[in-house]
A and B are shown apart, each in its own frame.
Chain A
Amino acid sequence: AQRVTQPEKLLSVFKGAPVELKCNYSYSGSPELFWYVQYSRQRLQLLLRHISRESIKGFTADLNKGETSFHLKKPFAQEEDSAMYYCALEGGSEKLVFGKGTKLTVNP
């Protein structure tokens, strides 16, 4: 079974501070992992995926198969980063399974 766990429902940091949103997954095969972001009352947008190993808006995420984690990190948070962040896993069934989301608030 595919499962994604985001242990923090809420995360609050100050502007300029580092931020890490945790994501752990459970899947027996080779997963594809993603981070999606949802700004207030807007559509979900793909932030990044582990296959691309890219950095978007200063965010990075590294897949750690040993720890089954895909934590999202940014060294210096900005106020405009405040949003809901969802970690998601696809196990080859064309179905994305989402974590419950972490609401990030970046305070001035």
Chain B
Amino acid sequence: DTAVSQTPKYLVTQMGNDKSIKCEQNLGHDTMYWYKQDSKKFLKIMFSYNNKELIINETVPNRFSPKSPDKAHLNLHINSLELGDSAVYFCASSHRGEGGNTIYFGEGSWLTVV
């Protein structure tokens, strides 16, 4: 009954490879996100989708391409991986209620590029 689930949890890959991280949420939320947490634990938004439409695209290299086949899924594809891409990637989803916009995070995907 995991709310926001992402796979794989751990990924070790070589430079130059292409890899994908998948994310699914079963909360019925309209908005989904990808955040990156670097080695210094700094969290920064990468993308946001609302009902399958891209609404936020921060200054992320175009080697990173999000894909949202439906509003419950937001996958992240990374081409030509570089050492600097090593980080933890968090998927999240949100809804706006009386208490404001509440964001729920997945458990993270630890990507190591060697």
Which residues of A pack against B, CB within 8 Å? Answer: 32, 42-46, 49, 51-52, 84, 86, 90, 93-98, 100-101, 103
Contacts and interface: CB of A to CB of B under 8 A. Distances in A.
A46 B92 CA distance: 12
B105 A43 contact: yes
Contacts, number: 52
Contacts of A93: 56
* Interchain residue pairs A-B with the least CB separation, the first 3: A98-B43, A44-B105, A43-B105
A5 B105 CA distance: 22
27 contacts: A32-B100, A43-B90, A43-B105, A43-B106, A43-B107, A43-B108, A44-B90, A45-B105, A49-B102, A51-B99, A51-B100, A84-B41, A90-B100, A90-B101, A93-B56, A94-B31, A94-B56, A94-B101, A95-B45, A96-B101, A98-B42, A98-B43, A98-B44, A100-B40, A100-B41, A100-B42, A101-B41
B94 interface: yes
